[in-house]
Amino acid sequence: MTRRVAVTGVGVVAPGGIGAPAFWDLLANGRTATRGITLFDPAEFRSRIAAECDFDPVAHGLDADLIARSDRYIQFALVAAREALGDAGLDLEKEDPWRIGVSLGTAVGGTTRLEHDYVAVSGSGARWDVDHRPAGAHLERAFAPSTLASAVAEEVGAHGPVQTVSTGCTSGLDAIGYAFHSVEEGRVDICVAGASDTPITPITVACFDAIKATSANNDDPEHASRPFDARRDGFVMGEGGAVLILEELEHARARGATVYCEISGYATFGNAYHMTGLTTEGLEMAEAINTALAHSRLDGSQVDYVNAHGSGTKQNDR
């Protein structure tokens, strides 16, 4: 019999709101956190706006050693995971660590630490024969995307499957999808799942500037992100992290957990066509939708809400 999968905990580090209640208040009241970039001087760039997190790792319980060895995106994931576990009411000492997994996604990984240390070892890009000595002691952790999931697994004491997923914009969804399968198929009873990214760095902003994918509406940042609008001119860079606790439904019920919802189906397909574009027929998206519905044993007429990617670029909004 297929096991049912519940969501029992939520944790969020987001622009305009650290913690799920603060972020929900931002959304429910129609506020935006998009503003001029403050994490570095953006004067030379075409797009100079972003959605930044006002985040103090010390204020959110991370000690000096953990901060020193953890890139910003990992700090986000650790804080979000702690909130999600607390929200789920899980006492990890009562759980079998071999039945706990971690599945986390990231699109750009440790780009914050990588860029900072590259600037240091190269004399701000002036020298090709870099001097490794100015680099931080934990630079190697930024090179390995697996550090994200392993850091959270260490935090929660997970001995089950631990994986980092990187599939671009869908990294978080795919990480939750893989976690869903892990619980549904009986490999774990609990899986910490979600994503974290901190891409607001000069090199990342420059890359999207070059292809004009980001909005240049610098004079009105609050209205720069406008997917499906006729005047849209690109997406707004953002950072943040979110974690869900996925749990086998009967396991959750047995301990009296609050169940926010169930995940009943998941599907993902590639099109072997273009790095960012879709074929005009939309067959891959249709296949994914139909497969996810079949997995859920649902008919399309039963769907009340569809969440679109809504990047704000003319190509993707189509």
Let me know whether 249 and 279 are in one domain.
no
Let me know whether 120 and 222 are in one domain.
yes
Residue 311: its pLDDT value, please? Answer: 85
Let me know whether 165 and 307 are in one domain.
no
pLDDT tens digits for range 132-173: 888 887 777 887 889 999 999 999 999 999 999 999 989 999
| 3-state secondary structure string across the chain | CCCCEEEEEEEEEECCEECHHHHHHHHHCCCCCEEECCCCCCCCCCCCEEECCCCCCCCCCCCHHHHHHCCHHHHHHHHHHHHHHHHHCCCHHHCCHHHEEEEEECCCCCHHHHHHHHHHHCCCCCCCCCCCCCCCCCHHHHHCCCHHHHHHHHHHCCCCCEEEECCHHHHHHHHHHHHHHHHHCCCCCEEEEEEEECCCCHHHHHHHHHCCCECCCCCCHHHCCCCCCCCCCCECEECEEEEEEEEEHHHHHHCCCCCCEEECCCCCCCCCCCCCCCCCCCHHHHHHHHHHHHHHCCCHHHCCCCCCCCCCCHHHHC
Let me know whether 52 and 9 are in one domain.
yes
Please state the domain count of the chain. Answer: 2
Residue 230: its pLDDT value, please? Answer: 92
Q: What is the pTM of this model?
A: 0.94
What value does the mean pLDDT take over residues 228-245? 95
What value does the mean pLDDT take over residues 292-309? 93
Let me know whether 217 and 310 are in one domain.
no
pLDDT tens digits for range 253-272: 999 999 999 999 999 998 88
Let me know whether 312 and 240 are in one domain.
no
pLDDT tens digits for range 102-128: 999 999 998 898 888 888 888 877 888
- Give Cβ neighbours of residue 110 (< 8 Å, ≥ 6 apart): 71, 73, 74, 141, 142, 143, 144, 145, 147
* Residue with tokens 């650290």, as numbered in its chain: 18
Residue 38: its pLDDT value, please? Answer: 96
Among 268, 285, 307, the domain-final residue is 268
Let me know whether 78 and 126 are in one domain.
yes
- Amino acid identity for residue 144 in this structure: A
Let me know whether 246 and 277 are in one domain.
no
In this model, does residue 18 exceed pLDDT 90?
yes
Beta carbons of 54 and 38 less than 8 angstroms apart: no
Let me know whether 228 and 254 are in one domain.
yes
State which residues form the domain around 23.
5-268
- CATH number, domain at 11? 3.40.47.10
Beta carbons of 82 and 61 less than 8 angstroms apart: yes
Q: Is 96 left (phi over 0), alpha (psi -120 to 50) or beta?
A: beta
pLDDT tens digits for range 84-101: 999 999 999 999 999 999
Among 243, 268, 293, the domain-final residue is 268
Let me know whether 163 and 306 are in one domain.
no
- Which tokens sit at 6? 């519940």
Let me know whether 250 and 315 are in one domain.
no
Let me know whether 209 and 252 are in one domain.
yes
Among 268, 286, 302, the domain-final residue is 268
